[in-house]
Structure 1
Amino acid sequence: MSVIRVLIADDSPVARDVLRHLLTREGDIQIVGEARNGHEAVALARTLAPQLITMDLSMPVMEGLAAIEEIMHTRALPILVVSDRFEAAIAGQALALGALEVMPKPALDDTESSSLLERVRLLAGVAVITRLRPRALKTYQTLAAPPTHRSLAHVVTIACSTGGPQALARLLSRLPSNFALPVVIAQHMSHGFIEGMAQWLDSLCRLPVRVASHGEVLTPATVYLAPSESDLEITFDHHFRLVESPIGALYHPSCDALLTSAAAVYGRKAIGVILTGMGSDGVQGMRAICAAGGMTLAQDEASSVIYGMNRQAINAGAVQRVASLDELPELLIATTQGSFHCGSSHS
């Protein structure tokens, strides 16, 4: 069994002790170094070549965001942000700079400790690329779409997990302000961080982005994120309903809950998109949309951080069209023009 080499970056000795204890308790993870600030994290990333870095955001000398940016622009490595919940507002910036995921700091008896181990093991194997200094997200040309009078008879639902925030930024930032359909997203996220992600996406997109609330009416040309604390469903009168997650549920929020409700309400006018992510959440929902006669799209392997959820949906025969991340906005815009039609699955 190969050992995963991890660098911990956190200015708190207590936090480093907790992370070291949790990560090394099963013997498959080795802590190769500990950084007390962002400057040390950048230096140790170069000399120790870890397979993954856990990064705090609030640190002296050089804060976590600056360290992430420097690492991703010099010698890119997988970065998992492990930070306090009150820093959720800047967690989106960490994702924009190249961090793969964000999660809260676990306690020794925290149930999220197992989630920490799972994510470290998964993300350590992710291939990341060194970024050019100019930030690509801000250079995407917004695609044009003609005015349309489509009503709430149509909806776009998106399922995503690991790598999803970055994929959503690239996809949503290319939709025009007159994209007439509501877009509803279930993105797996640790509790407390979804508001920060919504603020970040809102700053990038022409469409307004916000977290959905119970009883809210769906509005065209608006992007909604499901809160992580509850599952999100769409009712037959086009309102949102927040439902308590089942006990022992692995994924928060549930992609299947959202997509299945869309299939039931919208039928052949439901559009399901499944992006990068681990696990199988969303496959059942994509099946439901496909069976109802709706449109189903999946991100391809080459543009995925984790080719998991989308791969399983494709293998299950629940996907009619496989496309790169840069092709998906064009396909969604084509739906508002009535120029894209459902067909057999192909890549």
Structure 2
Amino acid sequence: MIKVLIVDDSKSVCELFKEMFNREDDFEVVGCAEDGASALRMVKDLAPDVVTMDVNLPDFDGFTVTRSIMEESPVPIVIVSAVYSSSDAELGFRLLDTGALSFHDKPALNSDDFYGQMAEIIMSARLMSEVRVVRRKGRLKKDNCIKISEDTAFEGLHNYPKEVICIGASTGGPQAVKAILMSLPVGFPAPIIVIQHMSSGFTAGMVNWLIDNTGHNIKIAEHGEIIRPGVVYFGPEEYHLEVSADRKVVLSESPAVNGIRPTVSALFDSVARNIGRLAVAVLLTGMGRDGADELLKIRRSGGHTIAQNRETSIVFGMPGEAVRIGAAVQVLPLEKIGPELVNHICGS
């Protein structure tokens, strides 16, 4: 049985979440906290397996509570808070820096997709409850990033490499993508395209969060633009993203696949067809198998393929499927993926 603690300043939301979780055979709601002080006390006294955390609390903000929990009594934390703008979403991603594992928009009670959103939150709590978290020491500081100009970082490279890097991620992906970008020098001489499974309204916030933390030139991809070295492109919400043979972004509103749009599969498939041996594809942590078959296509077309290993994946679904079918040339821990990309693109 998974013991869950619900933290929200609204009593009605607490009761609703309690009802929804208690409908699941494998969950037990051990408590509902309506303020930060209660949350801190109940984490210690009730020893939950996972916590759902609102950002806005009457006494402490979500940062303070999450940070204190991770310093004193670490437990997997899933942020569930209302998102009205990209700045709200960015706030949620900043919470990942304090130790939270995932972030979800709080479903509106009158929303047509209330039950679908709640199902995502419950699934996330189920998955995160299995993650082993560690105690955070002291107050967390903003990540440092060594910013290196293109000329300094790649002195001697008179022409940009021709390779294109594509990355696919789902559950746990924001932290993983951030870690990779942090390990790449600014001005990295290859275009990077990222597909991150994301609830609607979050992509712009994630991009802003990554810009602040990594210093890279990051943007949401636009239809028809040519992908250029030194830029990190994110697939926009509600559009599949492909890359054409002349290295242009192609966006389409083709039907969602298993409820997902954009998909990693669409990007990887186009890269296998149009970029081939000059592709470098990375499949990161995530639930399901999106991108696994197409990663194999990239490998068969002569491209270099990497899957994140089990030990560093929050969910070893997508990379695990890739490993199972032999799609990955390399299976690497997260901390080695960035250096491998540098070595592959810039090595002799």
Q: Distance in 1 between matches of 2:335 and 2:230?
A: 20
Q: Which structure 2 residue ranges, 5 or more long, are not aligned?
A: none
State yes or no: 1:118 paired with 2:116: no
- Aligned match of 1:203: 212
TM-score, scaled to structure 1: 0.90
- Aligned match of 2:324: 315
1:141–1:307 CA distance, 2 compared to 1 (3 A): farther
Shift of 1:336: 2.1
Q: Distance in 2 between matches of 1:150 and 1:245?
A: 36
- Aligned match of 1:52: 50
- Aligned match of 1:105: 106
Shift of 1:141: 6.0
Letter in 2 for 1:11: D
Q: Distance in 2 between matches of 1:149 and 1:14?
A: 62
TM-score, scaled to structure 2: 0.90
Q: Distance in 1 between matches of 2:172 and 2:134?
A: 13
Letter in 2 for 1:77: V
Match for 1:180 among 181, 189, 208?
Answer: 189
Identical-pair percentage: 35
Shift of 1:245: 5.2
State yes or no: 1:74 paired with 2:72: yes
More displaced 10-residue stretch of structure 1: 234-243 or 192-201: 234-243
Q: Distance in 2 between matches of 1:320 and 1:257?
A: 20
Letter in 2 for 1:323: L
State yes or no: 1:146 paired with 2:176: no
1:227–1:98 CA distance, 2 compared to 1 (3 A): farther
1:93–1:163 CA distance, 2 compared to 1 (3 A): same
Aligned pairs for 1:1-347 (under 5 A) are: 3-86=1-84, 87-107=88-108, 110=114, 111-133=116-138, 135=140, 138-139=143-144, 145-147=153-155, 148-151=157-160, 153-244=162-253, 246-247=255-256, 249-339=258-348
Shift of 1:145: 4.3
Q: Distance in 2 between matches of 1:137 and 1:172?
A: 15
Shift of 1:257: 1.0
Q: Distance in 2 between matches of 1:299 and 1:150?
A: 30
- TM-superposition CA deviations, 1:290-340 (whole Å, max 9, x none): 11110001122222222221111011100001122121111111122244x
1:43–1:269 CA distance, 2 compared to 1 (3 A): same
Q: Distance in 2 between matches of 1:53 and 1:202?
A: 28
Shift of 1:139: 4.9
- SS across alignment from 1:184: strand
The number of residues matched between the two structures is 337
More displaced 10-residue stretch of structure 1: 323-332 or 231-240: 231-240
Letter in 2 for 1:85: V
8 A Cα contact 1:152 1:218, kept in partner:
no
More displaced 10-residue stretch of structure 1: 198-207 or 263-272: 198-207
- SS across alignment from 2:143: helix
8 A Cα contact 2:287 2:315, kept in partner:
yes
- Aligned-CA RMSD value: 2.1
- TM-superposition CA deviations, 1:240-271 (whole Å, max 9, x none): 22222525624343111111111222110011
Letter in 2 for 1:146: F
More displaced 10-residue stretch of structure 1: 130-139 or 119-128: 130-139
Q: Distance in 2 between matches of 1:96 and 1:83?
A: 16
Letter in 1 for 2:267: L
Shift of 1:118: 1.8
Q: Distance in 1 between matches of 2:304 and 2:2?
A: 40
- SS across alignment from 1:57: coil
